């Protein structure tokens, strides 16, 4: 029977085991320029024992930024910063994917020289994002009603994803993951509630899904199917988006991913964020559409991961908060060692505290 500690092939990349690090925004990039830095390198190197690290969400363009101090992958300085991180992760024996991100309406005009953030439609996200306050510390502010992208602007967004993929490759990443989950730009196009468009990118599901698939095709063209995966969150409320058609949208995308033969589908499950438990009938439906590698994430522990692996419903599990607090998580899970508890107050923004100072088991002993 397959175990979490068996190797697995994800597209063009061989992973030594199936305990993966989920993408985790930590808002510690250097300013000006949203540049990956030495502190981030230390954080990722400490976690190089993951079967695969998926990087924090990384904006594909200045327009794609939605939170303070998140890193980008659109400037030469950012690519050089990431190169120092991927080299160090590889030297430590690890593998790392870049998560390609455009936050769409989950953003603020202060990131865009006073211009409104863009989305599928001018439908507001009635919630807040994080900017730098006057005291320099993270402050929560309401998101403005966004501006709808004009049809003529969409090729530019697709091109930004393509260029970001070229940049990720140049930066030494092993794979890219397109972030199509959690209420960000691609999800805003997918969900009817946030997409009221009447052009070829709005209306029935196939048209709402088109931007995600146009982006996927451009990203595959820039690299190849063996180096590309997509993260989706079909069920549950994330960042103000709770798509009543989400289940169908997830299956539609999974079928399109299978047709293209991409490296993996990363399923973000909603229960950790207050949503419902995903039931096995949905997992089975997703598996029927997508025979490739499925990564499950959201409130996983060894028991949940092993059960779903044995049932053939996932191929690997990604851990978020446990990896924040336990740099040596796979080693701890392998022996059933106790886990450090994550400190929520240091999740977003700040320095080394709560970021690179969690002890390994060896250090504790």
Active site residues: 184
Tokens read off for 185 = 């730009």
Q: Which two tokens stand for residue 7?
A: 């190797």
Tokens of 252: 């539609």
Instruction: Establish if 103 lies at the interface with ligand FNR (CB under 6 A).
Output: no
Instruction: Tell me the C-alpha distance between 294 and 91, whole Å.
Output: 27
Query: Of the candidates 51, 57, 202, 240, which one interacts with ligand FNR according to CB under 6 A?
Result: 57
Work out whether 257 is an interface residue with ligand FNR (CB under 6 A): no
Q: Is 229 in the site for ligand FNR (CB under 6 A)?
A: no
CB of residue 54 to ligand FNR, shortest distance in Å: 7
Q: Please state, in angstroms and as integers, the Cα–Cα distance from residue 8 to each residue in 94, 104, 333, following that order.
A: 14, 34, 18
Exposure string over 153-180, b if 16+ CB within 10 A, otherwise e: ebeebbebbbbbbebbbebbbbbbbbbb
Look up residue 223 and give its two tokens: 């690299």
CA distance 265 to 258: 9
| C-beta nearest to ligand FNR: residue | 320
Which one, 1 or 345, has the nearer CB to ligand FNR? 345
Contact 57, 70 (CB under 8 A): yes
Binding residue for ligand FNR, selected from 128, 321, 350, 361, defined by CB under 6 A: 321
Instruction: Please report whether residue 316 would count as binding ligand FNR according to CB under 6 A.
Output: no
Residue selected from 44, 161, 264, 300 as contacting ligand FNR according to rule CB under 6 A: 300
Among 67, 173, 189, 319, binds ligand FNR (CB under 6 A): 319
* Angstrom distance (rounded) from CA 158 to CA 316: 29
3-state DSSP assignment of residue 113: coil
Which of 141/344 has CB closer to ligand FNR?
344
Asked if residue 69 binds ligand FNR (CB under 6 A), the reply is no
Whole-angstrom distance, CA of residue 62 vs CA of residue 64:
5
Token pair listed for 152: 């003529």
The least distance separating ligand FNR from the CB of residue 331, rounded to whole angstroms, comes to: 17
Integer Cα distance of 53 and 77 in angstroms: 22
Among 28, 105, 108, 179, binds ligand FNR (CB under 6 A): 179
356 sits near ligand FNR (criterion: CB under 6 A): no
From the list 5-13, 124-132, 161-169, 315-323, the region that binds ligand FNR by CB under 6 A is 315-323
| Of 316, 292, 327, 332, nearest in space to 8 by CA | 316
Q: Is residue 43 at the binding interface for ligand FNR, with CB under 6 A as the rule?
A: no
Q: Does 219 bind ligand FNR (CB under 6 A)?
A: no
Q: Which tokens sit at 362?
A: 């060896």
Q: 94: which 2 tokens?
A: 């690890």
Asked if 71 interacts with ligand FNR (CB under 6 A), we say: no
**With CB under 6 A, what is the number of residues at the site for ligand FNR?**
22
Binding pattern for the stretch 19-38 against ligand FNR, x by CB under 6 A and - elsewhere: ---xxxx-------------
* Radius of gyration of the chain from its Cα atoms, rounded to whole angstroms: 19
Task: Pick between residue 54 and residue 148 the one whose CB is nearest to ligand FNR.
Answer: 54
Work out how close the CB of 301 gets to ligand FNR at its nearest, in angstroms, rounded to a whole number: 9
Chain residues in the site for ligand FNR (CB under 6 A):
22-25, 56-57, 99, 179, 181-182, 231, 268, 272, 297-300, 319-322, 347
């Amino acid at each position: 029977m397959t175990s979490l500690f068996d190797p697995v092939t994800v597209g063009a990349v061989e992973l030594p085991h199936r305990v993966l690090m989920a993408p985790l925004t930590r808002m510690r990039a250097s300013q000006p320029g949203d540049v990956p830095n030495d502190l981030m390198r230390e954080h990722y190197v400490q976690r190089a024992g993951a079967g695969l690290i998926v990087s924090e969400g990384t904006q594909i363009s200045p327009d794609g930024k939605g939170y303070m101090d998140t890193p980008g992958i659109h400037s030469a300085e950012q690519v050089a910063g990431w190169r120092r991180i991927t080299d160090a992760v590889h030297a430590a024996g690890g593998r790392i994917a870049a998560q390609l991100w455009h936050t769409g309406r989950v953003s603020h005009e202060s990131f865009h020289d006073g211009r409104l953030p863009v989305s599928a439609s001018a439908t507001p996200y009635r919630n807040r994002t994080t900017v730098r306050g006057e005291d320099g510390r993270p402050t929560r502010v309401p998101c403005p009603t966004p501006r709808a992208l004009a049809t003529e602007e969409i090729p530019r967004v697709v091109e930004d994803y393509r260029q970001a993929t070229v940049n990720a490759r140049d930066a030494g990443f092993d794979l890219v993951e397109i972030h199509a989950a959690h209420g960000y730009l691609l999800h805003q196009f997918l969900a009817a509630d946030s997409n009221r468009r009447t052009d070829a990118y709005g209306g029935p599901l196939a048209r709402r899904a088109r931007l995600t698939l146009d982006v996927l095709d451009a990203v595959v063209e820039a690299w190849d199917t063996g180096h590309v995966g997509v993260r989706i969150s079909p069920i549950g409320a994330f960042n103000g988006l709770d798509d009543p058609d989400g289940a169908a949208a997830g299956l539609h995308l999974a079928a399109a991913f299978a047709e293209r033969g991409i490296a993996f589908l990363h399923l973000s499950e909603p229960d950790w964020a207050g949503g419902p438990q995903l039931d096995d009938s949905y997992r089975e439906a997703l598996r029927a559409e997508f025979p490739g590698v499925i990564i499950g994430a959201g409130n996983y522990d060894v028991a949940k991961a092993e059960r779903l692996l044995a049932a053939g419903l996932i191929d690997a599990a990604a851990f978020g908060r446990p990896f924040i607090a336990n740099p040596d998580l796979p080693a701890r899970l392998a022996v059933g060692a106790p886990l450090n508890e994550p400190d929520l107050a240091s999740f977003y923004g700040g320095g080394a505290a709560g970021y690179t100072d969690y002890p390994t088991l060896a250090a504790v002993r």
